[in-house]
């Protein structure tokens, strides 16, 4: 096989591997954002965190929330829910950031392939 063709095939396989890894990282990130609290399932995204923070700012200590599956959930301690959401969010974003940085470094090495 021609040397250029072999390099093109190797690069193509590398790109497919990178894309598969990015998709796997995104799935892991999304799964890490799931918080189970008071028999409810909540996503630790900015909207949920912001809403709970707004309830706390308005001096609410408990509330009935709709979880990600559409069920009503009685939350007796909004501060605890907020803490759980923030912990999950920061853990997920930190891991995602580290893994994406590793992926970017691997990508730069491959960009320097001799064509």
* pLDDT, tens only, 76-112: 999 999 999 999 999 999 999 999 988 888 765 555 4
Taking the whole predicted model, whether its pTM rises above 0.85 is answered as no
What distance in Å separates the CA atoms of residue 23 and residue 40, rounded to the nearest whole number? 27
Q: Percent of the chain at pLDDT above 90?
A: 68
* pLDDT, tens only, 42-76: 999 999 999 999 999 999 999 999 999 999 999 99
Q: Are 50 and 43 in contact (CB under 8 A)?
A: no
Residue 72: helix, strand or coil by DSSP?
strand
Query: Which residues neighbour 31 within 8 Å (Cβ) at sequence distance 6 or greater?
Result: none
Q: Specify the DSSP element, H or E, that contains 58.
A: none
pLDDT confidence bin for 114, thresholds 50/70/90? very low
């Amino acid at each position: 096989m021609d040397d250029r063709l072999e390099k093109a095939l190797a690069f193509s396989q590398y790109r497919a591997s990178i894309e598969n890894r990015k998709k796997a990282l995104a799935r892991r990130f999304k799964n890490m954002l799931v918080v189970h609290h008071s028999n409810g399932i909540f996503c630790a995204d900015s909207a949920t965190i912001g809403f709970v923070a707004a309830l706390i700012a308005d001096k609410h200590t408990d509330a009935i929330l709709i979880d990600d599956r559409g069920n009503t959930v009685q939350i007796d301690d909004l501060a605890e829910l907020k803490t759980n959401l923030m912990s999950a969010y920061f853990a997920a974003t930190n891991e995602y950031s580290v893994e994406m940085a590793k992926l970017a470094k691997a990508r730069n090495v491959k960009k320097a392939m001799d064509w």
